[in-house]
Structure 1
Amino acid sequence: MTATVPGIAARLTDGPDAVALVECRRGTSRTTGRGELVRRCHHLARALREAGVRPGHKAVVMTRDAHDLTAVSYALGLVGAVPVLIEPRAEVGRCLRDVAPDVFVGEPLAHLGRRALGWGRPHVRIPLVTGPAPLLLGRRLATRVPAGDVPASRVREPDGDEPALIAFTSGSTGRPKGAEYRHTTLAGQLDALTALMAPRPDDVLLAGFLPVALLGPLLGVTTVAPAVNHLAPARTPPEELVGPILEHRASIVLASPAVLTLIARHCARHGVTLPSVRQVLSFGAPLRVRLADALREAVPDDAEILSVYGATECLPVSAIADHDLRASRTAPPAGHAGTCLGRPLPGIRARILDADATGLGEIAVTGPTVSPAYHARPDADAATKSDTGHGVLHRTGDLGRLDDEGRLWFLGRKAHLVTGTGFTLTTEDIEAAADTAPGIRRTALVGVGTAVCQLPVLCVEPLPSTPRAAALAAVRTVLKDHPDGHRVGALLIRTAFPTDPRHNSKIDRMRLAGWAAKRLRGRVR
């Protein structure tokens, strides 16, 4: 049996008078202290037990309220139940069939979806509502209790191998899958983030992604949850992001490139700087140098800007500072086109599997941050997981190389290779170069036509101020200097790319390829 690891109760005992969580909504904020959060978690744990929740129960938690998500998930951990986090979108029914949850905890809108669409039927036996709602939706779970002493509920420090959480992937690169986290996995992630962030007692973390609010209090830092549009993060009003940074003097900003773009543009447009920020962590998609440059204009000169690589199944894996990212673009090692991801973090081992003669293969990782399995998906486990002397080895589905300095280079998703007649193109190789063209926001390489004889099509999303003809000319100029640029068979302008729902940063290439095929109908077999 694995030794016990510090659980939620142990991690929340320090600094009872410190602020744990700040929720921002439309210009207002609501603050919860660490001691208050602990009391609420124990209150909720007793309420969950009274409702019939037992150790080992799987409990879907679906709410956009940062406090409720955090408090309920922690309380479930105190009970010994397993929180399940799922994107509230079209694949929910399928995900719930995989999980077969005993409990469904959510805001009224989530329960309406559950009732109308049959989510979790017939498995959910305990429906609990986190806000005022008709009784037909489920029993109300009071997530906020008056100030005062609340007796501690029964708590058992967990065994490290016990399940702690199931977090579903976004489904942006395939069917969503539930990554199982054990308590050792969560402990490994917290240790890795601690090493990456080196949190200080007075740090304030702006969580640009809702589940990060779960980790912030466990890292011991005040966590600010801004009013991000969780169904479409890129449509968040930028003042809802910049305002909380300034008001609460956020020192760490953790967000996707789409959200960071909103912050950088707002600062540039209004001449705003962010003097309290000492670190920016970008995750969810590769950080482009142009965005790093824009962020650099808004933060102090000594602030650290990091591009963090990882996935739901293994987060974080590696990181690279913006200065090193620029250097890697201007002078990449021979044969290492694409985007540099930096060196793996302490305790993380990266390997390249099935490498070709150039060293290009699939990135695989082992370490304490790696999810050991998918829930109820033995097919996915067989395709991506294997046991090694260093723990479970996870195939990421990403293509890459390792250079002589031990740095990872990203070349795109394995599933997104474009295979033409007698050649193969990786998406990141072409896009990392094309994205440097002036007046371009981003590009996306897709293959149109039958596999092995696809037409490589580069879709171009220009900045709003860039005329279409100028955008195409700028990209063509860059492609002339690229060794494989001549293989791109068509350029298409699209004003806005379809993206993943979670971060609005990963491009939905399947939809984009379908759109390109319609535009090029008659040119491709």
Structure 2
Amino acid sequence: MSAISNLTIPDLLHARAQADPEREALIVHGGGSGAFGARPGSLTFAEWDRGAAEVARGLAGRGVGRGDRVGLVFGNGDWIDYAVAFCGVTAAGAVAVPLSDRLAEAEIDAALAHCGAATVLRPGDLPLGGGAEPKAARPGDVAQILLTSGTTGRPKGVAATHANLTFGHGGRRRPFAHSAHLAHAFPIGTNAGQTMLVTALSAHPATVTLPRFTPGRFAALIEEYHAGTVFLVPAMAVELLAAGVQDRHDLSCVRLLGSAAAPLPAPVAERLCTAFPRAAIVNYYTSTESYPAQTIMMYDPDRPGSVGQAVGGGTVKIATAAGEPVPAGVTGEVWLRSPAAPRAYWADERGSREVFRDGWVRMGDLGRLDEEGYLYLVDRESDVIKSGAFKVSTLHVEETAHECPGVREAAAFGVPHPTLGMSVALALVGSVTPQELRLFLADRLAPHERPARVVLMDALPRNHAGKVDKRLLREGAR
């Protein structure tokens, strides 16, 4: 297969439907079947292909054609109808704009306006047939516009072509062949969720998810389907461990447990090794802008803070803001590059020029590479706390706090200080007291890294992608 894919999303789906027509592709455990699927909560590849073709013709009948943007507002219980709608939109040559129905209506309206989406599809409102056969999409056509998480500013639309989305798919090898089922709980409208959707088109296992994540339900799903591959975000991992699901469910079926969308603290990864005794715990580092460029790290106690090496023909470098590489061991900006067709911001040429350069993507993170090419993140560039003459890594503070017994979750952030400019604050979820935590950290953190303020919370504020919203933490601490 060439470096740049010559396939489209409809190509992938149609080829899989021809090869495995009656094989289950998607399962929503406890979810309704919606408009598609002969079995409740299940969709075969043949049903997926037929449904997508019907939606494409229905959109053509509504006058939707190549390049038109179509909003897709669906909830996690609607994965089957959503998958059919997404592939139907791309089969019509149009551009899908995936959005979670958990977003506020104002956020949905702003996203649709930004992308210029004149048509919006929701559950129960899918056009079926009635139009002429749409013109086929081309690999270089934009297939989706995905909104960023917005943790460091207003969400931006990231455009990806068919060639970008299908890169690495369509070969004879079926990924995750060790599994009959792949379980995940990623929300619709996120890069992780979209990755699972496209993966379902080419992977060996059927993809199974559930309408709403709870630790007990997700563990029961893993056990019932004997899932060999599991994907989650770190927040879900923390909830699974806190609930002690490994004491009530047999999780020995899992061979690969992947964590994505946010850094996985090493203490959490270590506890996952015990809860999932036969699984490789793997951390995936990427972004909506850079995918499929990514680094992958199987948890290694000898490299507890690393997010791994670049894979899939990609490259990682540490460089200046101008893109000039810096030596191993020196902290700088993290840049990723993939051989796939690159992404770009939608209707934002200035923003694209700042982030996307000659195939490289500025990740917005600070990090360093060791002599063997392993990447270590220092912090989000926007999260670094400048306290007096020092720069404090919030990731380092959080990682150290997670080592304290009784800490379930920790998020460090900066708050104003009258003389230092900024000082460290720590939002904490768990059974430990602020006094106990400060005592634990006293000889583990430098004076300028120790939290001047500890805020006890029932839960950390997160966006719909599962990432901690530090802007809300900063605003709440004022």
TM over 0.5: yes
User: Is 1:226–2:210 an aligned residue pair?
Assistant: yes
State how 1:143-292 maps to structure 2 within 5 Å.
156=136, 158-188=137-167, 190=169, 198-200=175-177, 203-211=180-188, 212=193, 213-220=196-203, 221-228=205-212, 236-268=213-245, 270-292=247-269
User: Is 1:446–2:417 an aligned residue pair?
Assistant: no
Contact 1:456-1:489 at 8 Å conserved across structures: yes
Q: Deviation at 1:457?
A: 2.0
Contact 2:246-2:276 at 8 Å conserved across structures: no
Contact 1:180-1:371 at 8 Å conserved across structures: no
Counterpart amino acid of 1:31? S
Which residue of 390, 395, 398 corresponds with 1:428? 395
Question: How many residue pairs are counted as aligned between the two chains?
Answer: 448
Contact 2:227-2:253 at 8 Å conserved across structures: yes
Contact 1:314-1:369 at 8 Å conserved across structures: no
Q: Deviation at 1:377?
A: 1.5
Counterpart amino acid of 1:224? V
Superimposed CA distance per residue, residues 5-56 of structure 1 (whole angstroms, 9 cap, x where no aligned partner)? 2542344332112101111227996211111211111122222211222121
> Alpha carbons of 1:240 and 1:353: their partners in 2 closer, same or farther (altered >3 Å)?
same
> Alpha carbons of 1:177 and 1:349: their partners in 2 closer, same or farther (altered >3 Å)?
same
Q: Secondary structure at the match of 2:368?
A: strand
In 2, Cα distance between equivalents of 1:27 and 1:292:
34
Which residue of 299, 311, 317 corresponds with 1:351? 317
Q: Secondary structure at the match of 2:382?
A: helix
In 2, Cα distance between equivalents of 1:290 and 1:72:
40
Matched with 1:141 is: 126
Which residue of 51, 63, 67 corresponds with 2:80? 67
Superimposed CA distance per residue, residues 308-332 of structure 1 (whole angstroms, 9 cap, x where no aligned partner)? 111111235111112x1x2223xxx
Contact 1:370-1:394 at 8 Å conserved across structures: no
Superimposed CA distance per residue, residues 366-415 of structure 1 (whole angstroms, 9 cap, x where no aligned partner)? 1145743100112311321212xxxx211111111111110111111101
Q: Deviation at 1:269?
A: 6.7
> Alpha carbons of 1:450 and 1:356: their partners in 2 closer, same or farther (altered >3 Å)?
farther
Contact 2:255-2:280 at 8 Å conserved across structures: yes
> Alpha carbons of 1:151 and 1:265: their partners in 2 closer, same or farther (altered >3 Å)?
farther
In 2, Cα distance between equivalents of 1:275 and 1:453:
50
In 2, Cα distance between equivalents of 1:426 and 1:188:
35
In 1, Cα distance between equivalents of 2:111 and 2:166:
25
Q: Secondary structure at the match of 2:405?
A: coil
Q: Deviation at 1:451?
A: 10
Q: Secondary structure at the match of 1:415?
A: coil
Matched with 1:459 is: 426
Q: Secondary structure at the match of 2:302?
A: helix
Superimposed CA distance per residue, residues 58-111 of structure 1 (whole angstroms, 9 cap, x where no aligned partner)? 1111111101110001011111111012343343233222211131111xxxxx
Matched with 2:284 is: 308
Matched with 1:383 is: 354
Which residue of 292, 303, 306 corresponds with 1:328? 303
Which residue of 362, 365, 381 corresponds with 1:398? 365
Superimposed CA distance per residue, residues 109-143 of structure 1 (whole angstroms, 9 cap, x where no aligned partner)? xxxxxxxxxxxxxxxxxxxxx31xxxxxxxx4267
State how 1:6-155 maps to structure 2 within 5 Å.
6-11=8-13, 12-13=16-17, 14-25=19-30, 30-64=41-75, 65-87=78-100, 88-89=103-104, 90-106=106-122, 130-131=123-124, 140-141=125-126
Q: Deviation at 1:260?
A: 2.5
Contact 2:69-2:97 at 8 Å conserved across structures: yes
Where does structure 1 lack aligned partners over 5 or more consecutive residues? Answer: 107-129, 132-139, 229-235, 330-338, 518-525
> Alpha carbons of 1:54 and 1:344: their partners in 2 closer, same or farther (altered >3 Å)?
same
In 2, Cα distance between equivalents of 1:461 and 1:27:
37
User: Is 1:318–2:318 an aligned residue pair?
Assistant: no
Q: Deviation at 1:343?
A: 0.6
Q: Secondary structure at the match of 1:512?
A: helix
Which residue of 273, 297, 304 corresponds with 2:274? 297
Counterpart amino acid of 1:93? D
Where does structure 2 lack aligned partners over 5 or more consecutive residues? Answer: 34-39
In 1, Cα distance between equivalents of 2:346 and 2:32:
40
Counterpart amino acid of 2:51? R
Matched with 2:37 is: none
Contact 1:420-1:452 at 8 Å conserved across structures: no
> Alpha carbons of 1:437 and 1:374: their partners in 2 closer, same or farther (altered >3 Å)?
same
Q: Deviation at 1:475?
A: 4.0
> Alpha carbons of 1:489 and 1:356: their partners in 2 closer, same or farther (altered >3 Å)?
farther
Contact 2:369-2:375 at 8 Å conserved across structures: yes
In 1, Cα distance between equivalents of 2:44 and 2:366:
44
Q: Deviation at 1:176?
A: 0.4
Contact 1:309-1:315 at 8 Å conserved across structures: no
Contact 1:280-1:304 at 8 Å conserved across structures: yes
Contact 1:21-1:33 at 8 Å conserved across structures: yes
In 2, Cα distance between equivalents of 1:265 and 1:10:
40
User: Is 1:4–2:6 an aligned residue pair?
Assistant: yes
Counterpart amino acid of 1:512? L
Q: Secondary structure at the match of 1:416?
A: coil
In 1, Cα distance between equivalents of 2:440 and 2:243:
30
User: Is 1:478–2:441 an aligned residue pair?
Assistant: yes
Q: Deviation at 1:202?
A: 5.1
Q: Which moved more, 1:158-167 or 1:404-413?
A: 158-167
Contact 1:45-1:75 at 8 Å conserved across structures: yes
> Alpha carbons of 1:264 and 1:423: their partners in 2 closer, same or farther (altered >3 Å)?
closer
RMSD, aligned CA:
3.1
Matched with 1:507 is: 468
Q: Deviation at 1:241?
A: 1.2
Q: Deviation at 1:223?
A: 0.9
> Alpha carbons of 1:155 and 1:243: their partners in 2 closer, same or farther (altered >3 Å)?
farther
Q: Secondary structure at the match of 1:315?
A: coil
> TM-score, length-normalised on structure 1?
0.78
Counterpart amino acid of 2:166? A
Matched with 2:307 is: 341
Q: Which has the larger radius of gyration?
A: 1
Contact 1:480-1:486 at 8 Å conserved across structures: no
Counterpart amino acid of 1:227? P
Q: Secondary structure at the match of 2:284?
A: strand
Counterpart amino acid of 1:77? T
In 1, Cα distance between equivalents of 2:277 and 2:135:
44
Q: Which moved more, 1:451-460 or 1:174-183?
A: 451-460
